[in-house]
Amino acid sequence: MKAVIFGITGQDGSYLAELLLEKGYTVVGVTRRVSVDTTKRISHILPKIKIVEGDITDAFNVNKIIEDYKPDEIYNLAAQSHVGTSFSQPSLTTDITYCGVINILEAIRYSPRKEDIKFYQASSSEMFGKNYTEVIEPIFGKSHHKYQDEDTPFVPQSPYAVAKLAAHNMVRIYRDSYEIFACSGILFNHESERRGENFVTRKITKWVGEFVAWMMYYNVGPEDLVAVDEDEVYIPGRTHVDQGFQFPKLRLGNLDARRDWGHAKDYVHAMWLMVKQQSPDDYVVATGEAHSVREFLDEAFKAVGISDWKNYVVIDPEFYRAAEVDYLLGLPQKAKTLLGWTPKISFKQLAENMVNHDVKEAKLRRPRLQEV
Ligand code: NAP
Ligand code: G4F
């Protein structure tokens, strides 16, 4: 089997490529020409995959890649995937996240191998926006009163969500109109040690890692620090302006937003299962649990033995969204029943894995003072 992955350098692309290699696939990954190396997440598998230069916004290029490499499966994970950024760059977000998908669908539609190609599109729980389904009675053995599933209407709240929803609808239209095997995974938030550093979970765990390494470097603990300053934590006895003796606090936006957070490794498995079905369909992929950003902070700080993080976090309006999605909790019942998919990594484990990874990396960058 041969798969082409658009977006192989991203978080999900890297895990999906690993999974497909394990399953014996030939993997072709499409990467953009940029001035810096973007292959860090896939550096360990580079010798085993074929990298081809391409950009999803270039229709001719997309068509040529599909014609040249003759894939059995195409996974589109490429997107401008940051919701906050989509408010400042709505046009670019539309070009990549929506129009790019049309380029792939058109290439499949006119391919002489149309019947032999299976296509996966990365749709998103962001498409639900502020909407949810509400029930009075507990369902599926849990007291879920507010949730989103395949029947919940979409009410997108950001340029990103509008682009994803347009692409989602286009996938359905091409599936129904041209008999293309095209499926969409409506994936809820999934994170990992490879998550982009400006998404909230990784921003938190990266900060925790740097903070722990900084304390170890100066051989101090949380009890030795002063945090009265608005912007920084510092080591008393040193003057505040001394180089290195202060550490910038973690600046975040809305801590009350709730997300259904799983691990990316579990979620790429669901993508593959969708493509392996007899007929194409759309599936919600989620854990069925929602937690606030505040709760993620609790778990991340607990993982390094800090029970109260309030002195270290500053609320900064810069990180508020023009329009927020307050509550996402997915019911993955269809994926469980029809795909046999269940997530394995819990919320607590996810936070711990990410923190442990980021502490380890930060310590390597900043060894103890006495070890230098
Ligand atoms: P990510 O880490 O931001 O990766 C995005 C990938 O898209 C990167 O490889 C990026 O390449 C590539 N890309 C961006 N613009 C491109 C273009 N014009 N042409 C070709 N490639 C381009 O995102 P992710 O977290 O892995 O998510 C994968 C997909 O799932 C995305 O479509 C995202 O919107 C969607 N999704 C994610 C989540 C989640 O919680 N992670 C949930 C639902 C849906 P560079 O390395 O060159 O930037
Ligand atoms: O981590 P986030 O940026 O993820 P968001 O907006 O939920 O989007 C992610 O998940 C979607 C699936 O639902 C994907 F489609 C999308 O591609 C992306 O992967 O923000 C999560 C929450 C938001 O409510 C945000 O307002 O955290 C809140 N938040 C609070 N402070 C922050 C921050 N988000 C970011 N990025 N940075 C902050 O400082």
pLDDT digits (tens, 9 = 90+) for 221-279: 999 998 888 899 989 877 655 667 889 999 999 999 999 999 999 999 999 999 999 99
Region 280-289 average pLDDT: 98
Q: What is the pLDDT of residue 228?
A: 81
Q: What is the pLDDT of residue 141?
A: 67
Question: Could you give the percent of the chain with pLDDT greater than 90?
Answer: 90
Q: What is the pLDDT of residue 369?
A: 52
Region 131-139 average pLDDT: 85
Q: What are phi and psi of 21, to 5 degrees?
A: -60, -45
Of residues 109, 90, 144, the one with CA closest to residue 258: 144
The span from the CA of 107 to the CA of 141, in Å, is 44
Q: What is the pLDDT of residue 142?
A: 66
**Residue 266 in contact with residue 345, Cβ under 8 Å?**
yes
- Please tell me the distance between residue 77's alpha carbon and the centre of ligand 1 in angstroms: 5
Ligand 2 pocket test target in 86, 126, 199 with most atoms within 8 Å of CB:
199
Give the total residue count for the chain. 372
Is 346 noted as a catalytic residue in this protein?
A: no
Confidence of residue 119 (pLDDT cuts 50, 70, 90): very high
Region 188-213 average pLDDT: 98
pTM of the entire predicted model: 0.97
Is 14 noted as a catalytic residue in this protein?
A: no
Confidence of residue 136 (pLDDT cuts 50, 70, 90): confident
Region 77-89 average pLDDT: 98
C-alpha distances out from residue 145 to 142, 151, 260, 329, Å: 9, 15, 15, 10
pLDDT at 368 over 70: no
- Please tell me the distance between residue 108's alpha carbon and the centre of ligand 2 in angstroms: 32
The span from the CA of 148 to the CA of 188, in Å, is 10
Burial label for 142, CB within 10 Å (0-12, 13-18, 19+), is exposed
Tokens of 247: 């550490």
3-state SS, residue 139: strand
Q: Rounded mean pLDDT of the chain?
A: 95
Q: Measure CA 322 to chain center.
A: 20
188 lines ligand 2 (CB under 6 A): yes
Task: Tell me which of 124, 158, 184, 192 is the catalytic residue.
Answer: 124
94 lines ligand 2 (CB under 6 A): no
Q: What is the pLDDT of residue 281?
A: 98
Question: Could you give the percent of the chain with pLDDT greater than 70?
Answer: 95
> How many CA atoms, within 13 angstroms, populate the side-chain half-sphere of residue 16?
29
Is 124 noted as a catalytic residue in this protein?
A: yes
The span from the CA of 205 to the CA of 86, in Å, is 23
Burial label for 53, CB within 10 Å (0-12, 13-18, 19+), is exposed
Region 56-77 average pLDDT: 98
Q: What is the pLDDT of residue 242?
A: 62
Q: What is the pLDDT of residue 137?
A: 74
